[in-house]
Structure 1
Amino acid sequence: MLVIGDDGLARPTWAATDPLLRDYYDTEWGMPVRDEQGLFERLSLEAFQSGLSWATILRKRPAFRTAFDGFDPDRVAAYDAGDVERLMADAGIVRNRRKIEATVTNARATVALREDGGLADLVWSFRPPATPAPASYDEVPTQSAESKALAKALRGRGFVFVGPTTMFALMEAVGIVDTHLIGSHRRGTSGIWATR
């Protein structure tokens, strides 16, 4: 369902009232991210979001960026047990040991992947030939053949917390698929997919 805002723009209900979510929807969600650090950050935040609301993660994103050295893969890959304990004591982030350790593991996998073209090339290689065109939330998929294949490929490269649903959310967030509802002012704005 779309809601027409005071500015006359149509947004989904999740982005219609909270200013933080509205700004994220209007300026960032679904826009192409093709750099290694940007993709590593979003991959990490999608893992932390598992079981929580995206609003919670978005509110904590500045603290996450500080705690994880701006999601610089080289710096995070060098973290040791002491860094994990430091992060577990940081009330500004989600203090989940498995997710913190997964972020370190994924940083190391990201660095190793540079030998074969890098994280961005791998993730974007799973762009589907067509994008969904949902008219309602019931029509928005939660995973796809491509997100399943991406999850499998990443797991094969040593990544963790990269299930097909999480990878579909990543693909939505970074513009690989466009699941903005038909009628939304953001549909087709990524420049990747034609407006439909």
Structure 2
Amino acid sequence: MAKKTRSTTATAGAVVLSLFFGGVVLAFYPGWSAVGRWFGHDSAAAWVQAVGSVVAIIAAAGVAVYQVDHARRLEEDRRKTGEIQRLSVVVALMARSYGLAKDVVTAFRDPSDYHFSVIDTPLMRDTVETLRALPLFEIPGGMAAIDIRSTARYLDMLADNWESMVAEVQASGAPPSEQSAGDMVSFCEELMVINDEAMKECKAAISARGGKWI
């Protein structure tokens, strides 16, 4: 709408200027003596001043329209930049959650001291706190907000379940049962699916706002 208004204003100004300068040319063009006599008339100066005033008004209106449109575009750019930053934070947290869940899956599928040692429940809880502290209503996209809440809940439960399992293993001296291990893996895979879908959605939203994600 702003572009259309600005275009209309510019067109009107161009028409007025064309008529004005066209009249000046005709005044001195051979065979148009009547126009020349009009410019020599006492009222010609008043008409010239009036036309100049109209041109000035149109020019001022054009400047005002441009300033409003420019301010609107700046505000739109600021909004998009803010949304891209918030979405990028969500992507980073989803990637961290995905990695934490994948560590647990790897530990059960390829048991080794190293794979079990990298499982970090304090980082899980730290991620949960960060997710819960996010202002959900400021994050574009309803599904992203839902995924944030789901991820926080899943990660919190994963940390609890892992710590309980470790405590049982240490108390009994026996490894976890296949059923317990299978349930834990399935739980982590569900969380990884949520994280993956959230990352895809947020990356698409970032791209739609002119941002880039590698």
| TM-score normalised according to structure 2 size | 0.23
Give the greater-gyration-radius structure (CA).
2
TM-score (norm 1): 0.24
Q: Which has the higher helix share?
A: 2
